[in-house]
Amino acid sequence: MSALLEARGVGKKFGGVQALKDVTLTINAGEIYGLIGPNGAGKTTFFNVLTGLYTRDGGEVLFAGSPLRLGSPHEVTRAGIARTFQNIRLFGNMTARENVMVGRHARTGAGVLGAVFRSAAARAEEAAIRRRADELLHYVGIADRGDDLARHLSYGDQRRLEIARALATEPKLLALDEPAAGMNATETAALRVLVEGLRADGVTVLLIEHDVKLVMGLCDRVAVLDYGEKIAEDVPAAVQKNPKVIEAYLGGSVA
């Protein structure tokens, strides 16, 4: 298996708080990689550093063999990392289809002249964007909601729409920030099927999740963060038995 993403010694400080300390991890192509940890452990910070939203204070990130530039989220997306947000960030006043169409932005190129004169190339591209958006809506299972405003969708559907929008950028790595948060059991089960389908289709997934059952059942490998440090990285079965992990989660030694 080849490494898709390598983070080496990544650090991040907020004032006096060391949110991330020397985090080194490797995500292999084609796997579902889980990132867990207690609240405030630095999971989302790591995510934001990885996707260029925060500038990191140290270390480097190699993606598909080349280093990622600091602090430019759109370039990270172009390089092939797409993300969803812990608190869903859709374009609320655009329709579901338009949301996914925006996701195609990075992979298309029509400019002002193309838009104004509707050249053959621009028209073809626009049709392709629309077609792809409909395919993706169908893929995540909300094909019938295409014309609804994003903020009128149910919570579970909004999560799906966000995933569809992220997939529209043709990511090599899809980073999901607590996708099951706030979902009921049925929605979580459906999400699991969706993420497994992604893996089957060759998308590598980085998953931050609180739902330990979901993570352990879904992920090929899991890393555990605690106070900004990686304390374990292994297959789920081994991580579950790791005493450091148990201590971090239960707060104290377990005999």
Partner 1 sequence: MDQKTKAYAGTFLIAAVLAVAPFAVGGAFGNTWVRVLDYAALYIILALGLNIVVGFAGLLDLGYIAFYAVGAYLYALLASPHFGLHWPAWAILPLGACVAGLFGVLLGAPTLRLRGDYLAIVTLGFGEIIRIFMNNLNAPINITNGPKGIARIDAISIAGQPLSKAIEIAGLKIPGVYLYYYLFVVLALGIVFVSIRLQDSRIGRAWVAIREDEIAAKACGIDTRNVKLLAFAMGASFGGVAGGLFAGFQEFVSPESFGLMESVMVLCMVVLGGMGHIPGVILGGLLLTVLPEAFRHGAGPAQQALFGKVLLDPESLRMLLFGIALIAVMLYRPAGLWPDARHRREMAEKKS
Q: Figure out which of the listed residues 83, 132, 160, 230 binds partner 1, where binding follows CB under 8 A.
A: 83
Contacts of 252 (CB under 8 A, 6+ apart): none
Cβ-contact 150, 96 below 8 angstroms = yes
Smallest separation, CB 52 to partner 1 (Å): 8
Contact pick of 28, 86, 108, 242 for partner 1 (by CB under 8 A): 108
CA distances from 219 to 9, 44, 84, 225 (A): 23, 18, 18, 16
CA distance 165 to 244: 37
Footprint (CB under 8 A) of partner 1, residues 141-180: 149, 165-166, 168-169
- Among residues 41, 129, 142, 161, the one that binds partner 1 under rule CB under 8 A: 129
Examine residue 240 and tell whether it contacts partner 1 (CB under 8 A).
no
Q: Which of 136, 149, 150, 206 is CA-nearest to residue 178?
A: 206
One of 15, 16, 65, 111 touching partner 1 (CB under 8 A): 111
**Please, which residue, 51 or 188, has the CB nearer to partner 1?**
51
Q: CB-wise, 102 or 216, nearer to partner 1?
A: 102
Task: Copy the structure tokens of residue 9.
Answer: 């010694």
Q: How far apart are CA 221 and CA 28, in angstroms?
A: 9
CB 228 within 8 Å of CB 20: yes
Q: Does residue 121 interact with partner 1 by CB under 8 A?
A: no
Q: What are the residues binding partner 1 (CB under 8 A)?
A: 51, 53, 73-74, 77-78, 82-83, 85, 89-94, 98, 101-108, 110-112, 114-118, 122, 125-126, 129, 149, 165-166, 168-169
